[in-house]
Chain A
């Protein structure tokens, strides 16, 4: 259950749905290889998740279809069901073509790999 960013794929315009849009809570931590991002997206399936990298902007849109049977009468309501949208500006250090994502039980995990640092190179100074 993973979706890999394909750099050759043309970025699609993400449509903004006309219903509740929530900012999902996220965790971001850093490892030596890159950044790991977790986002809570309850109700989002792998088919209703759109992840997009365009220029240096990473956008995630999780569409949630209310799965309540027709004719159900609400007796008590503590939360609304809606889509999730959040975007991030990535630094040039992140290798966009190698971003990996996995969705499990309503939690999205995105790995944002950092480009390896260039080794210092000694520059020969010639005398005039």
Chain B
């Protein structure tokens, strides 16, 4: 009686699949909410009494690799996320079993309300979440404009 699998000789791909499954034998998907493809990074914008708040999920970023600029009421977020490395070099493609995380350069520009204090803008980065605080400008009181007669 043969003790090897008879199909081994004609379907090497199936064997490869089995080899993968042998180490990671299936992945269970426990999903209630599915994250659809979207701009990177996705942002949420909130308004509070004294400020606007922008949040963005940027897992794996380093603070020093984040670049935030503001000009003409446009806030620009820029950065680069490095892929995992091994022995200071890139991991060869054939070593990957799954590759789902995005890497590389990214940039996102967001129009912000005019009435913010650009000098007092601040940002914090914790646990892969960026928060940008945009303090509102003090409400200006109506200013009387003197009208001179043309005589």
Q: Mark A23-66, 1 if CB is under 8 A from B, else 0.
A: 10111111100011010111111000000000010000000000
Tell me, rounded to whole Å, the shortest Cβ–Cβ distance linking A103 to chain B. 8
> Is B98 within 8 A of A28, CB to CB?
yes
A105/B60 contact (C-beta < 8 A), A74-B45, A89-B25 known: yes
Q: Which residues of A contact B24 (CB under 8 A)?
A: 28, 35, 88-91
**Docked CA distance A96–B68 (Å):** 43
B103 to chain A, nearest CB (A): 9
- Assess whether A80 is interfacial by the CB under 8 Å rule: yes
Q: Does B70 contact A (CB under 8 A)?
A: no
Interface code A72-89, partner B: CB below 8 Å = 1, 0 otherwise?
Answer: 111111111010011111
Number of interface residues of A (CB under 8 A): 48
Q: Smallest Cβ distance from B56 to chain A, in angstroms?
A: 9
Residues of A within 8 A of B97 (CB): 28-30, 35
Known: A30-B95, A75-B46, A78-B44. A87 touches B30 (CB 8 A): yes
Contacting pair A73 B47 (CB below 8 A): yes
| A106 located at the interface, meaning its Cβ lies under 8 Å from any Cβ of chain B in the complex | yes
Give the tally of cross-chain contacts (CB within 8 A).
Answer: 151
User: Once the chains bind, are B29 and A23 in contact (CB under 8 Å)?
Assistant: yes
Q: Smallest CB-CB separation from B98: which chain A residue?
A: A28
Is the beta-carbon distance between B27 and A88 smaller than 8 angstroms?
A: yes
Q: How far is the CB of B19 from chain A (nearest CB, A)?
A: 10
Give every chain A residue within 8 A of B86 (Cβ-Cβ).
29, 31
Kindly state the separation between the CA atoms of A94 and B52 in the bound complex, as whole angstroms: 48
| Cα separation A87 to B45 with both chains bound (whole Å) | 32
How many Å lie between the Cα of A108 and that of B118 in the bound state? 35
A68 to B53 CA separation, bound complex (whole angstroms): 9
With beta carbons under 8 angstroms apart, the residue of B31, B44, B61 that contacts A21 is: B31
Q: A67 within 8 Å of B by Cβ? A: yes
Q: Is A43's CB under 8 angstroms from B30's CB?
A: no
Contact with B44, one of A76, A85, A88, A89 (Cβ below 8 angstroms): A76
The 8 closest A-B pairs by CB, nearest first: A106-B128, A106-B59, A42-B128, A25-B100, A72-B46, A78-B42, A42-B57, A79-B42
Which A positions have Cβ atoms within 8 angstroms of B?
Answer: 20-23, 25-31, 35-36, 38, 40-45, 56, 67-69, 71-80, 82, 85-91, 93-94, 104-107
8 CB < 8 A contacts A-B: A22-B35, A38-B84, A67-B131, A74-B44, A78-B44, A88-B24, A94-B23, A106-B59
